[in-house]
Amino acid sequence: MRIGVLTSGGDAPGMNSAIRTVAVVGIGRGHQVIGIREGYKGLMDGDVTTLSLGDVRGISRIGGTVLASTRSELFKTEEGQAKAKSSIARLSLDALIVIGGNGSLTGASRLAEDGTCTVVGIPASIDNDIGHVGLSIGVDTAVNTIVDACDRISDTARACKRAFVVEVMGRQCGFLAMRAGLAAEADAILYGEGRLTEHEVVEKLREVMRRCFAPDSSKQRALIVKAEGIGITTERLETLLNEHLEQDAPGVGIRSTVLGHVVRGGSPSALDRVI
Ligand code: F6P
């Protein structure tokens, strides 16, 4: 068989291990493995290269994806789907392996609908927002990165008697915030699924401030982990809390850190490589 493999959407640490495994197992069983560059864009453009064992040697420890990745708006359209299907025929692909998240796997299932070729999806997204998947590739590394950042922030927060809001990725899913917040001993974890109004969030956090900075509290720091998906920006949250800080926790300062794409990079954990 000729098996195509691509990575699509937001990259996730561990994608390279998945590419390597496809190549090692595929070549080992006598198939030809074709690497498709830049996700669905490369599929539509026919931007491919035959993968050898040498091409994938040592890539497991590298973050990102050696095949590169894109988010393709064109692929979502009828025109894009047609282009991808004719490319699959032109490249004589018998199977396509898509390594990606929610949107990428939705695209893969559309390709599979009319039997264009065998399509296999490998869930990889730091957000862990893919149905029926316990832990997708990339989540474990991302959680560890967040916990490491929160531990560092906790040190300086305690030293300076401050409250910190730490924003983490997770567009429509609070899993990263929840898992990392638990591990980092956060005082509050905010996630979109909680469906709280802005007022409710602020009232709950004011209570957290009063508790963490009470004169008899041994804590004297507050760590609030916030998923990017909640409807209040980190800047606004900081402003709103600041308005009451002198009353709730006199002498306490507040700062915020948006971890952003830092969370998506780095060498994959052993768990992400093995998944
Ligand atoms: O889909 C994973 C994700 O990391 C989300 O958590 C985040 O909102 C988004 O990607 C960021 O996408 P981009 O890198 O395209 O800005």
Over the stretch 173-199, which tens digit does the pLDDT of each residue have? Answer: 999 999 999 999 999 999 999 999 999
pLDDT > 90? residue 134: yes
- In ligand 1, which atom is closest to the CA atom of 171? 8
- Decide whether any atom of ligand 1 lies within 6 Å of the 144 Cβ: no
Q: Are 214 and 251 in contact (CB under 8 A)?
A: no
φ/ψ bin of 131: left (φ > 0), alpha (ψ from -120 to 50), beta (otherwise)? beta
Q: Is the dihedral of CA 169, 171, 176, 180 positive or negative?
A: positive
Residue type present at position 58? G
Phi, psi of 142 (to 5 degrees): -60, -40
Q: Which atom number of ligand 1 is nearest to the Cα of residue 170?
A: 6
Helices and strands: H and E segment counts in the chain: 10, 9
CA of 103 to the centre of ligand 1 (A): 11
* 154 Cα–ligand 1 center, Å: 25
pLDDT reported for residue 249: 96
CA distance 87 to 8: 17
What's the 108 CA to ligand 1 centre distance in angstroms?
19
pLDDT, one tens digit per residue, over 259-272 is 999 999 999 999 99
From the CB of 264, is ligand 1 less than 6 Å away? yes
**Does residue 232 come out as left (phi exceeding 0), alpha (psi in the -120 to 50 range) or beta?**
beta
pLDDT digit string, tens, across residues 81-124: 999 999 999 999 999 999 999 999 999 999 999 888 999 999 99
Q: 10 CB under 6 A from ligand 1? A: yes
Q: What is the tens place of the pLDDT at every residue in 54-73?
A: 999 999 999 999 999 999 99
What are the structure tokens assigned to 155, written together?
């040190």
Cα–Cα dist 138/145, whole Å:
11
Q: From the CB of 39, is ligand 1 less than 6 Å away?
A: no
Q: What is the value of pTM for the model shown?
A: 0.96
β-strands 95-100, 118-123 pairing: parallel
Q: How far is the CA of 20 from the centre of ligand 1 (A)?
A: 24
Q: Classify the C-alpha dihedral 100-102-104-106 as positive or negative.
A: positive
Amino acid at 207: E
Look up 127 and say whether it is catalytic: yes
